[in-house]
Amino acid sequence: MKVLVVGGGGREHALVWKLAQSPTVSGIIAAPGNAGIARLAETTPIPAHDIEGLVRLAEERECGLTVVGPEVPLTLGIVDAFRARGLTAFGPTRAAARIEGSKSFAKELMRRAGVPTASARTCTSREEAAAAAGEIGYPVVIKADGLAAGKGVVIAADGHEAETAIDDAMVRQRFGRSGDTLVVEECLRGEEASILAITDGRKAALLAPSQDHKRALDGDRGPNTGGMGAYAPAPVVSEETLADVERSIIGPTLEGLAEMEGAEYRGVLYAGLMMTDGGPKVVEFNCRFGDPETQVTLPLLEGDLAEIMMSAASGDLDPSAVGARPRHAVCVVMASGGYPGQYEKGKLVEGIDSAEAMNDVVVFHAGTRLEDGATVTSGGRVLGVTAWDASLADAVKRAYRAVDSISFENEYHRTDIAHRALSRQNTGQGTGP
């Protein structure tokens, strides 16, 4: 069958790469894709938010499966539109995608389902939000209720920082209408981890737990980004803890959604967790694969991704078809100087072929385009250099050797991806929080 992949970042390149390995896939179309995806699939300049254009494309090209990468088209109802035309799409409906599109919706869902998470208040005025912050106590987390491109969360250390964050959202409208409502919640303490669960709405298969690195600079310093690297499996999540996450978080969340009209969840559910002293608690839910977590979980996936997605989208997932390779994977993001702030585009990227000539290395393109046959930068996060090996330490070394063979003007990257896990190994600590 032909598969349509919606999106054009590193996550989508990883999805295309894995889908291309399926014997059931005869061809892949990516909309809009990028320079790396173009090596594996046909690309078309239809943007991810053009739902009607994507439906027509899937019909005209007779795509048996559409995989939606980004959250925006999911929250706009792309899966509903595909289903209405008799097309199969992997992803949640608009009603189910509210779990990412509205943080207040997610909080209320978790409250009803008894899912462990931070205590919080939903606020619709500046005065209410300021009062909530003071009552909860500092540091306090202030979140724009709607989508904000990963920039709508502030950890305020004191009242002044809280008021600035509240005014940015509600008065200066930094996030548009997404900041009209705020969720003010307690600041959880511990180590973060990400769980991706492929589900048909009732049954779920959890992929290898991973850990993202949000800060721009080594030592977890600098501004928050979309992610500067990741690794899997994350030893902070033991097998026992993973079973607890499935039992106390993923299961009750899916059950709660299934009780709502039109919200049965089919696709991948992303649970961002904090491993606290009291056990895992939900920091956030996303309605799609994480980025760059996808770049390290898919290389470890044992199974036919196309068949897995088809069965999930059809409501008939077999969790036993989803396995894990006994390997460790590491992704290092190579970014444009200035990211996550302003940065220049159009820089020539060299050395990708040399990196991919190494064994067990793949370079996922996140922000690239083709210009006169050459690969140039087109985004803040440019490449996700991924490697895998039998041990985490060797996977880290392999990834950084590949990074060293790639260059572009003003490039920067973190040099300490997986430092928490490596430190845990060096000090002889076990898994778990």
**pTM score, two decimals?**
0.96
- Which two tokens mark 382? 């440019």
Confidence at residue 292, expressed as pLDDT on a 0 to 100 scale: 97
Confidence at residue 432, expressed as pLDDT on a 0 to 100 scale: 42
pLDDT tens-digit profile of 245-304? 999 999 999 999 999 988 899 999 999 999 999 999 999 999 999 999 999 999 999 999
pLDDT tens-digit profile of 334-385? 999 999 999 999 999 999 999 999 999 999 999 999 999 999 999 999 999 9
Where does the pLDDT of residue 175 fall: very low under 50, low under 70, confident under 90, or very high at 90 and above? very high
Where does the pLDDT of residue 149 fall: very low under 50, low under 70, confident under 90, or very high at 90 and above? confident
Rounded mean pLDDT, 137-161: 93
Nearest CA to 212 out of 330, 337, 302 is that of 330
The β-bridge relationship of strands 63-68 and 2-7 is parallel
Confidence at residue 429, expressed as pLDDT on a 0 to 100 scale: 61
- Which two tokens mark 291? 């980025």
Confidence at residue 181, expressed as pLDDT on a 0 to 100 scale: 97
Q: Could you write out the three-class secondary structure of 117-158?
A: ECCEEEECCHHHHHHHHHHHCCCEEEEECCCCCCCCEEEECC
Q: How far separated are the first and last CA of the chain, in Å rounded?
A: 44
Q: Could you write out the three-class secondary structure of 206-231?
A: ECCCEEECCEEEHHHEEEECCCCEEE
pLDDT tens-digit profile of 4-21? 999 999 999 999 999 999
Nearest CA to 180 out of 247, 103, 120, 115 is that of 103
Confidence at residue 36, expressed as pLDDT on a 0 to 100 scale: 97
Nearest CA to 170 out of 162, 187, 182, 158 is that of 182
Domain annotation for the chain: domains and CATH numbers? 2-91 (3.40.50.20), 125-180 (3.30.1490.20), 191-426 (3.30.470.20)
User: Which phi and psi (to 5°) does residue 80 adopt?
Assistant: -60, -45
**In percent, how much of the chain has pLDDT > 70?**
98
Rounded mean pLDDT, 385-392: 98
Instruction: Report CA torsion sign: 304, 301, 245, 89.
Output: negative
DSSP state of 349: P
